[in-house]
Amino acid sequence: MEDLLKHKIIEAIRVLYAGEALEDLIQLQETKKEFRGDFTLVVFPLLRFSKNTPEKTGESIGNYLISKCPSLSGYNVIKGFLNLEVADKWWIEFFSQMVAGDDYLASCRVKKPETIMVEYSSPNTNKPLHLGHIRNNLLGYSLYRILSACGHKVIKTNIVNDRGIHICKSMLAWQKYGDGETPESSGIKGDHLVGKYYVLFERKYKQEAEELKEKGVSEAEARNSAPLIREAREMLLKWESGDSEVLELWKKMNQWVYSGFDKTYRLLGVEFDKIYYESDTYKIGRDLVMNALKDNILYRHDDSSIWVDLNSEGLDQKLLLRSDGTAVYMTQDLGTAVLRHDEYGFDRCLYVVGNEQNYHFQVLKAVLKKMGYPWSDGLYHFSYGMVELPEGKMKSREGTIVDADDLIEEMKETARDVSAELGKLADFTEEEKEDIFSKIGLGALKYFILKVDPRKNMTFNPSESIDFNGNTGPFIQYTYARIKSVFRKAGQNGVVYDPVINAGIKAGEKEISLIKILRRFTAVVSEAAGTYSPALVANYCYELAREYNQFYHDFSILGEPDSSIRNLRLAISDATSRVLGAGMWLLGIEMPERM
C-alpha cells in the first residue's frame, strides 16, 4: 500500500503541477492515533510544486488520490498533513493474504543479509551471574533472534573475563581462608563459591587498609600497600609468567565457575555459538601492541608502559600495556576483535555492554582504526542502561548483588503463588503446573526487562512484573492461552474454522482495527532490527494483546450466528496467537498453551 500511494502521489504532482518529484520528497507515515486516517503525507516538501498553501495543496492531492485509488475511502487535511483513509475492503483483502501465508516474518527478510556477530554476557570468573548479567544476556539473545529473523547470519559469542587482578583476589582468598572447600564438599554452586571468596577478599582487604590508615598512612597509600593487594598483584605476575601452581589453582576454580554459569544459562534459555577466553585473546592483543609499537603507531613511557595517543580523535591517551608488562582490558579486546574477524569475517560486531563502558569502546574502535583495520568501522557498542532494584544499586564487592539463580527461582515461586491465588490450574498435573510456573516466571522476568528501551536505566520490580492484568509477560501469555482455549472449545462444539475469508464480508470497526495492528508486525520487527531495540517488539505484543482482549470481551466469537463473521473472528484470533507467539519467541519467551 505504501509503495502504491507513493507512486500515485508522484503521479498527482506530475498531473496537477507539471512537476517531477523524487521519491525522497514523499514523506509517508502511519497516521497518529489522535487523527482519523491510516497513512499521512507530509505536504510541506511539495509546496515547491504547488506554489500554494499547505491546506489547499493537501486538498488537491487528496482529491486526485481518491479519484485514482479505489483502495482509499476518504481523506482529511490538518494544516500541512494529508491523512488518507484506506477502505475496509482493502484491509480484508490484505488479511486474507496474510492468513494464507505460513511465515509471518517472511517480509522482514532483507535483500542483502550480513554476517553479524553479537557478543553478550561477558562474565568475570570471580562471581556468579547477577541481575545486571540477566539484562545483558536477554538483550543479546533477543537481538540474535530479531536479526536472524530478518535474514542475517548471526554468530552468538561470549568473552569470559577469566584473568586479571579480580580473578586473583578470589583465588588468593580461597588459598588463604578456604581450607580446601569445594562445591562438592560445601553443596554450594561453583560460581557462588568463588564469588563468596571474592567478597571475603574485599572485606579482609578493607580491614587491612583501615588498620594502615589508623597508623597515619593516607587512604590511597593504604589501599595500594595493604598486604593482601600486594599478594594479589604478585599472584597475577606469577600467572602471566606461567607459574604451574598458580595456573593449576586458576584452572580448578575457573572450572567450578564454568559449571555454575552453564546451569544459569540453561535456566535463562540462552546459548552461544563460540566462547572466547581473555586468557587466550590477551596474548594476541599483546602481540598486536608490540607490533604497533615497532611501527611507531604507539609509544613507550619512561616506566616502560605502552600507550596510544588518541588526542587527534578527541579521546586523550590510553594505556595498552602496564610497566610490568601485564595486559589491560583494552589489550584483550584488541586481540579478541582481530581473532574474531579473522575467523568469521563479520560485517558488523555488536558489543552488548553497559553504558559505563562507552569510552572504552570508542577507544577500541579508534585504536583498531589506527592499527590499520578498516573493518573496525563495523564495530558497534550496544550501550544499555543499568538495572537496579527499588532499594538501589547492587555492589559485587560488598556482596549485595541480586543473584541470577535466586531471582529466577523467586520468579517461579511468585508465579506459583499468583496462579494458586487465581485458582486457574486446579485440573493440571503437578508436572504441567511446574512447566507453566517456569514459563510464567521466566516470561515475566524477560518481558519486564526487555520492554524497557535498552538505552535507559531501569528498576526491576518482581511483584510488578508478574501482574496478569498490566503490561507484563504473563498478560500476553494469558492472551495467547485464551485464544488456544477458544479453538479447543470450537473443536468440542463442532465449529470448523476455514482460513479462507469471505471477500465481500462487512467487517466491524474492531475487526479492522485488529487487522491494522496485525499488519504492523513485520514493520515493527524490521525497525527493531534496524535500531537494535527488542523493546519495540515487546510493546507491540502488549498493544496487540490488549486490543484483542477488548475485542474478546466486547464481541462473541463462537456464539456469533453469522458464519462468515464468526469465521473472520476466528481468523483474527488465530493470526493474533501466531503473531504473539512469533513476537514473544523473538524475545526468548515461551508461550503456554493453557493457563
Strand ranges inside 60-182, DSSP E: 72-78, 81-86, 115-119, 153-160
Contact between 436 and 419 (Cβ < 8 Å) = yes
State whether the Cα torsion 107-110-115-121 is positive or negative: negative
Quick check: 28 pLDDT over 60? yes
State whether the Cα torsion 425-429-433-436 is positive or negative: negative
- Per-position DSSP letters for 534-589, written without gaps between them: HHHHHHHHHHHHHHHHHHHHHS-STT-S-HHHHHHHHHHHHHHHHHHHHHHHHTT-
Quick check: 531 pLDDT over 50? yes
pLDDT of residue 547: 97
* HSE of 105, CA atoms in CB hemisphere, 13 A: 23
Residue tagged 476455514 (cell numbers) = 498
Cα–Cα nearest to 541, from 510, 516, 574, 517: 517
Quick check: 312 pLDDT over 90? yes
Quick check: 409 pLDDT over 80? yes
Cα–Cα nearest to 179, from 162, 202, 166, 196: 196
Cα–Cα nearest to 352, from 136, 152, 159: 136
Contact between 80 and 42 (Cβ < 8 Å) = yes
Q: Average pLDDT for residues 184-201, to the nearest whole number?
A: 96
How many angstroms separate the CA atoms of 453 and 180, rounded?
A: 45
Q: What is the pLDDT of residues 245-294, one digit of tens each?
A: 999 999 999 999 999 999 999 999 999 999 999 999 999 999 999 999 99
Quick check: 348 pLDDT over 90? yes
pLDDT-derived band at 395, boundaries 50, 70, 90: very low
pTM, two decimals, is 0.91
Distances (CA, A) of 471 to 147, 448, 514, 549: 24, 8, 18, 13
pLDDT of residue 396: 42
Could you give the percent of the chain with pLDDT greater than 90? Answer: 83
pLDDT-derived band at 391, boundaries 50, 70, 90: low
Quick check: 398 pLDDT over 60? no
Q: Label residue 225 exposed, middle or buried (CB < 10 Å: 0-12, 13-18, 19+).
A: middle
